[in-house]
Amino acid sequence: MTRWPILALAVGAIALALVLLERVPRPVPEAAREAIVPVDTVRWRVHDTGVEPALAIVAKGHRVRLVLVNATGRAVTPRLPGYDDRVELPSLAAGETWSGSFLADRPGADFALWIDGEPAARLTVAGSHLVEGHR
């Protein structure tokens, strides 16, 4: 009869270990993180007279799918200062289209799309500078 208390303790210890193991946070795979981040698409069309639209607004924390269309008759060199460490914009030949993406995690209205060294359009990342849940 002395085996029953030992068996009951063993079952209790296993149950407790399973409950505690269930509460341990597990890392989320990169593919799953990408799937839960909302995507905003910004499509800028470069013309000889400027860029359309002149203003693009995205939400902080969203992934930005950026599409650049060179509708000019010449090559252009775009830059996006403030996010140039996240997305590298290549020079575009006449009529060429490029797309890429980056995470818009820096809020503000001061991000300009530069074409050939001149500001041509503006990107606004809407959202608070404060960390979520911080007051």
What does the angle CA 87 – CA 91 – CA 95 come to, to the nearest 5 degrees? 115
Amino acid at 33: R
Residue 44 maps to which CATH number?
Answer: 2.60.40.420
Per the structure, the count of domains in the chain is 1
Amino acid letter, 121: A
How many angstroms separate the CA atoms of 70 and 11, rounded?
68
Mean pLDDT, residues 43-50: 94
Instruction: Output 21 or 35, whichever has higher pLDDT.
Output: 21
Whether residue 84 is contained in a domain is answered as: yes
Looking at 50-64, 90-104, 118-132, which range is the least confident one? 118-132
| 135 belongs to a structural domain | no
What are the tens digits of pLDDT across the range 49-88?
Answer: 999 999 999 999 999 999 999 999 999 999 999 998 999 9
User: Has residue 131 got a pLDDT over 80?
Assistant: no
In a domain, 82, yes or no: yes
> Model pTM?
0.69
- 111-130 average pLDDT score: 89
pLDDT at res. 125: 93
Q: What are the backbone dihedrals phi and psi of residue 108, each rounded to the nearest 5 degrees, phi first?
A: 150, 170
Q: Is the pLDDT of residue 33 over 60?
A: no
- Measured CA to CA, the distance from residue 47 to residue 90 in angstroms comes to 17
Strand order of the β-sheet with 97-103 is 50-52, 39-47, 63-70, 97-103
Q: Which amino acid is at 131?
A: V
pLDDT band at 10 (very low <50, low <70, confident <90, very high): confident
At 51 the pLDDT is: 95
Range of the domain at 57: 31-126
E strand or H helix at 39, and its extent? Answer: strand 39-47
pLDDT at residue number 135: 52
Strand partners, 41: 65
